[in-house]
């Protein structure tokens, strides 16, 4: 008798107060796919493994799950994702996941031999790249090419790679006003270039050079962008290289090949026993024609020519933005 009264009481309560149903029915269950605490390397993207949900009768509620919170995959830090679901009675459940984005550890720099010269060529492949590759091959000197993805003659990237040169990302469009709008624009340009390199070499490259160098002021429309990008790219495991020997081949249109050779030679000499990262452009024929003299002079004077790698010492310009 007493049980019947209790039962009647609850039926009445359920009919009168919809909230009582909630109190009586078990909540749905959310099950995280993957770990509740995830640690991931800083990267361009993060894929949330998601969660599944069922109500107390076993019905699948996965499609109704909403997720609050966002992981910024390239920014080192701790993020919380909250998954929530409600069943047909409005009974709610939630679960949380912590995602910790950590920097990728870059390998230690290995000091090169004294008087090492890293020849680097930006903006190609260009009309003079084939000639340049022939010269380098003749002297068995390896260099580094920071390539532009939307140039023609992409197959020269493959040739350079197959002949032992290092390939790095420079840009896809090299249009400063597009690349340096914000992080997303920079990443899009970077990834498009990386895709071209992957297609030509079968390898991802950890090497890159910012268009205009990391010390550029062309990015100033977005305050602090270079300060952020330089940190972010290193956190993602890339190594960027500026230069300590500017050939001036892109700054001064009036220079002959001999002038360019002299500029480079004088600046390398000024570095003493230290290493030199030389900036040239294989889109400039007068610069390419200076390379043979440069190699001959270097070899006669005890210099070692090496391609850049992830363990090479780097030069970073002072940041201006
Ligand atoms: Zn450039």
Residue 314 falls inside a structural domain: no
CA–centroid distance, residue 111 to ligand 1 (Å): 27
Task: Give the distance (Å) from ligand 1 centre to CA of residue 171.
Answer: 8
Ligand 1 mean position, distance from CA 134 (Å): 22
**Could you tell me if residue 49 is inside a domain?**
yes
What separation in Å is there between the alpha carbon of 148 and the centre of ligand 1?
A: 8
Distance 14 CA to ligand 1 centre (A): 72
Distance from the alpha carbon of residue 59 to the mean position of ligand 1, in angstroms: 58
Q: Report the chain's mean pLDDT, rounded to a whole number.
A: 93
Same domain, 43 and 132: no
User: 249 — phi, psi (to 5°)?
Assistant: -70, -20
Last residue of a domain, one of 48, 72, 102: 102
How many structural domains are present in the chain?
A: 2
Residues 152, 98 within the same domain: no
Residue 123 alpha carbon to ligand 1 centre in Å: 5
CB atoms within 10 A of CB 147: 30
Question: How far, in Å, is the centroid of ligand 1 from the Cα of 192?
Answer: 16
Does a structural domain hold residue 12?
no
State yes or no: pLDDT of 8 exceeds 70: no
In the reported structure, the alpha carbon of residue 129 is separated from the centroid of ligand 1 by a whole-number distance in angstroms of: 15
Q: Which residue is listed with tokens 């030389």? A: 278
Cα 178 to averaged position of ligand 1 atoms, centre (Å):
14
- 235 and 285 together in one domain: yes
Q: What is the CATH number for 55?
A: 2.60.40.10
Q: Are residues 94 and 143 in the same domain?
A: no
> CA-CA distance, 102 to 320, in Å (whole number)?
27
Is the domain of 47 the same as that of 80? Answer: yes
The angle that helices 183-201 and 225-235 make with each other, rounded to 10 degrees, is 40
Q: What's the pLDDT at 114? A: 98
CA of 302 to the centre of ligand 1 (A): 30
Query: What is residue 149's three-state secondary structure?
Result: coil
* pTM of the predicted model as reported, rounded to 2 decimal places: 0.89
Residue 134 located in a structural domain: yes
User: Is there a single domain that holds both residue 153 and residue 275?
Assistant: yes
> Distance from the CA of 215 to the center of ligand 1, in angstroms?
13
Question: Which tokens go with 247?
Answer: 């050939």
Q: How far is the CA of 181 from the centre of ligand 1 (A)?
A: 17
Closest CA to 110 of 276, 309, 316: 309
> The domain containing residue 145 runs over which residues?
116-305
Q: Kindly state whether residues 150 and 51 are assigned to the same domain.
A: no
Ligand 1 centre to CA of 88 (Å) is 59
Q: What is the CATH number of the domain that holds 137?
A: 3.20.20.370
pLDDT, residue 152, reads 83
Together in a domain, 199 and 95 = no
pLDDT tens-place string over residues 50-99: 999 999 999 999 999 999 999 999 999 999 999 999 999 999 999 999 99
Please indicate, yes or no, whether residues 206 and 129 belong to a single structural domain of this protein.
yes
CA of 141 to the centre of ligand 1 (A): 22
Distances in Å between the alpha carbon of 154 and those of 23, 87, 139, 259? 67, 55, 24, 30
How much is the pLDDT for 5? 55
Q: Are residues 215 and 89 in the same domain?
A: no
Report residue 17's pLDDT band, with 50, 70 and 90 as the boundaries.
low
Shared domain check, 60 and 209: no
Which ranges in the chain belong to alpha helices (H)?
2-16, 18-24, 129-139, 155-162, 176-179, 183-201, 225-235, 257-270, 285-288, 291-300
Residue 136: inside a domain: yes
- Cβ pair 179, 185 in contact under 8 A: yes
Residues 223 and 160 in one domain: yes
Q: For 90-123, how does the pLDDT look when each residue is reduced to its tens digit (9 = 90+)? A: 999 999 999 999 999 999 999 999 999 999 999 9
Q: Residues 291-305: pLDDT tens digits?
A: 999 999 999 999 999
Distance CA 197, CA 204 (A): 7
């Amino acid at each position: 008798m007493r049980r019947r009264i209790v039962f009647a009481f609850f039926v009445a309560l359920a009919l009168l107060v919809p909230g009582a149903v909630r109190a009586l029915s078990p909540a749905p269950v959310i099950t995280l796919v993957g770990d509740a605490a995830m640690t991931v390397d800083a990267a361009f993207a993060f894929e949330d493994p998601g969660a599944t949900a069922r109500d107390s009768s076993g019905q699948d509620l996965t499609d109704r799950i909403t997720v609050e919170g966002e992981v910024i995959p390239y920014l080192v830090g701790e993020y919380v994702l909250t998954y929530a679901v409600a069943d047909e009675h409005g009974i709610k459940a939630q679960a949380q996941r912590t995602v910790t984005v950590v920097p990728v550890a870059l390998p230690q720099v290995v000091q090169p031999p004294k008087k090492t010269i890293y020849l680097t060529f930006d903006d190609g492949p260009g009309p003079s790249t084939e000639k340049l590759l022939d010269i380098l091959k003749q002297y068995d000197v390896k260099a580094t090419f920071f390539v532009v993805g939307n140039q023609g003659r992409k197959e020269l990237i493959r040739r350079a790679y197959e002949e032992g040169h290092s390939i790095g990302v420079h840009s896809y469009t090299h249009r400063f006003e597009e690349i340096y709008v914000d992080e997303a624009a920079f990443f899009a340009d970077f990834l498009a270039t990386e895709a071209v390199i992957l297609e030509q070499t079968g390898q991802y490259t950890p090497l890159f050079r910012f268009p205009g160098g990391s010390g550029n002021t062309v990015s100033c429309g977005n305050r602090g962008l270079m300060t952020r990008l330089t940190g972010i790219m290193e956190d993602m495991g890339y190594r960027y290289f500026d230069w300590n020997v500017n050939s001036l081949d892109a700054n001064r249109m009036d220079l002959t090949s001999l002038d360019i050779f002299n500029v480079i030679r004088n600046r390398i000499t000024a570095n003493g026993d230290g290493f030199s990262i030389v900036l040239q452009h294989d889109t400039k024929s007068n610069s390419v024609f200076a390379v043979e003299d440069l190699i001959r002079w270097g070899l006669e004077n005890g210099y070692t020519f090496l391609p850049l790698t992830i363990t090479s010492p780097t030069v970073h310009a002072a940041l201006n933005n």
